[in-house]
Amino acid sequence: MNSVFVFVLLYVLHFQYCEGQTTKSVSAIEGVDVNLSCDLTGVFTLPTWRGPPGLLVYTLQDDVSEAINPVAPAASRLQYASNKKDLVLSNAYTNDSGIYRCSYTGIGDHTITLSVTAKCQTAVSVSATEGDDVTLPCTLTGSFTLPVWRGPPGLLVYTLQDDVSEAINPVAPAASRLQYASNEKDLVLSDAQISDSGDYRCSYTALGNHTITLTVTAERQTAVSVSATEGDDVTLPCTLTGSFTLPAWTGPPNALIYTNQDDPSEAINPAAPAASRLQYASNKKDLVLSNAYTNDSGSYRCSYTALGNHTITLTVTAEQTEIVG
């Protein structure tokens, strides 16, 4: 055979094969259903489909069972479209991105480059005061329950996706105060503390993630002034709002600790200058100072975890001495 003829024949065959190839790009966002169209020209159904990784065979040409290769990474989410040509990928993930190819003997092949991008993150800020119960909303779009929750420190994993036990990671700092809300999506943080402040994130496969920045501030302090005369018995009121008894009390000098919170012994620190004249009132909240002296004047403060603190400025004046002329 003439060598020039052979060259021309090979060139024509190569040209025809290249003409049979077509390519296009498809973009999608996580969670959507994607139709990968087999845009070959000709009469056919049930082409061979290949895809990631490495153009693995997904379907066999003319296989009337329409079987999907079970080792395909997305096997459970793949099927032929109703026209028995296109391939439908349900609930796309970012790792479904790659090259897909349909082919049919005698017609050629068609390549699709699929790019699946993560859903955009959404973020909100939530403010709370110490002691509040806070609901952190998981506002992902889609049908889901039991998302993964993460939080301080460093977006530590708090819950596992689809864990029907709704278990909270015991190493989470606020583990004993965390639980799913009744909708099994949101996270409820009870009795918020300043140390609970930080970034919290819920996520669900193919739906993206949602970040909440929580800021917990100390309860506003309240202050009152109390005046007394030497020798008076003075009640220093602890007017915190909430249910409590046995708060911590501090006082002169320099906010010295007088009592410890929740100490059932109601012990008074013996280093307190007025230790022998101090005791809790009958309500186990207020502090009673007996036989006040002028040097008892100063700032006293009661506090209770998550309820804040309350300051009393006590001024004790000397008893006026009547001068008889």
Task: Name the domain boundary from 197, 217, 237.
Answer: 217
Task: Please write the tens of the pLDDT for every residue from 109-150.
Answer: 999 999 988 776 667 899 998 778 999 999 888 889 999 999
Could you tell me what percent of the chain has a pLDDT over 90?
Answer: 68
Position 87 in a domain: yes
Task: Name the domain boundary from 217, 252, 275.
Answer: 217
229 with 208, same domain?
no
How many domains does the chain fold into? 3
Distance, in Å, from the CA atom of 309 to the CA atom of 240, rounded to the nearest integer, reads 7
35 with 109, same domain?
yes
Q: What's the chain's Rg over C-alpha atoms?
A: 37
241 with 228, same domain?
yes
166 with 197, same domain?
yes
- Kindly give the pairing relationship between strand 34-36 and strand 87-89: antiparallel
Over 159-225, what HEC string results? CCCCCCCCCCCCCCCCHHHEEECCCCCCEEECCCCHHHCEEEEEEECCCEEEEEEEEEECCCCEEEE
- Kindly give the pairing relationship between strand 122-129 and strand 78-80: unpaired
Q: Which domain holds residue 61?
A: 21-117
227 with 310, same domain?
yes
Distance, in Å, from the CA atom of 172 to the CA atom of 178, rounded to the nearest integer, reads 9
Q: Is the pLDDT of residue 20 over 80?
A: no
Task: Please write the tens of the pLDDT for every residue from 236-262.
Answer: 999 888 889 999 999 999 889 999 999
Task: Name the domain boundary from 117, 132, 167.
Answer: 117
Q: Looking at residue 82, what DSSP letter applies?
A: T
272 with 289, same domain?
yes
Q: What is the CATH number of the domain that holds 199?
A: 2.60.40.10
Q: Is the pLDDT of residue 12 over 60?
A: no
Tokens of 40: 């070959």
109 with 176, same domain?
no
